[in-house]
Amino acid sequence: LNYRAARFLISAPTLATCPEDSGAEVAFAGRSNAGKSSAINTLTGQKALARTSKTPGRTQLINFFALDDERRLVDLPGYGFAKVPESVKLEWQRHLADYLQHRQALKGVVLLMDVRHPLTEFDQMMLGWAEQAGLPLHLLLTKADKLKRGAATNALRQVERALAGRTEQVEVQLFSSLARQGLDTLEARLNGWLRG
């Protein structure tokens, strides 16, 4: 699959306004500031395809990027963004759960977590939703460049241990957009989901 061919398709505030539910797509989920939009830009080799920001909560809509007529990447808004009212958070959680549970085209979820703060309460919630929806998961421990190699490997082992015994198909890897680390592994997993 040619990820470099990705083009912006549409921004949708709710499931009802998403593109037609056909073909195959993969969603990038995770806490605000985890590096979702950066990972999409790194994967597609395009600096500003998905908007990134130092300010958490940059991405507030479900953004769709088309790889071709049949396949899409989806940039989800970061959950856990502190500066929005509780009612907005709950509303967004509802849309997110709705999307994960009912979207037929969704073949897998890439869950991004800062390697320095993995498996937060929000991440656990996502794991639960993906499990309920029978969706395979690929965990990226992002910003691996922020840790020394040994510390990053330790973090990876800890997350692997914490996930041991889960029934759904979960894989985990280190990733860095800055250092372009872990790109081949990510592409291989996405290819498996999107070619299926």
Contact residues for Mg ion, defined by CB under 5 A: 36-37, 58-59
- Which of Mg ion, ligand GTP, none does 146 bind, CB closer than 5 to 8 A by kind? ligand GTP
Within 8 A by CB and 6+ apart from 152, the residues are 115, 141, 144, 174
Q: Which of 6, 25, 59, 138 binds ligand GTP (CB under 6 A)?
A: 59
- 56, 91, 131, 168: residue in contact with ligand GTP (rule CB under 6 A): 56
Query: 72 is in the binding site of which of Mg ion, ligand GTP, none (Cβ under 5 to 8 A by kind)?
Result: none
Closer to ligand GTP by Cβ: residue 45 or 56: 56
Longest dimension (CA), the chain: 45
| Rounded least distance, CB 24 to ligand GTP, Å | 22
> Which partner from the list Mg ion, ligand GTP, none does 34 bind, CB cut-off 5 to 8 Å by kind?
ligand GTP
What are the phi and psi torsion angles at 134 (to 5°)? Answer: 70, 30
Cα-to-chain-centroid distance, residue 95:
16
Is residue 147 within 8 A of residue 156, CB to CB? The reply is no
Please choose, out of 14-22, 30-38, 121-129, 163-171, the segment that lies near ligand GTP by the rule CB under 6 A: 30-38
Output the CA torsion sign for 34, 51, 147, 193. positive
- Kindly list the residues in this chain that would bind ligand GTP in the complex (CB under 6 A): 30, 32-38, 52-54, 56-59, 77-78, 142-143, 145-146, 176-178
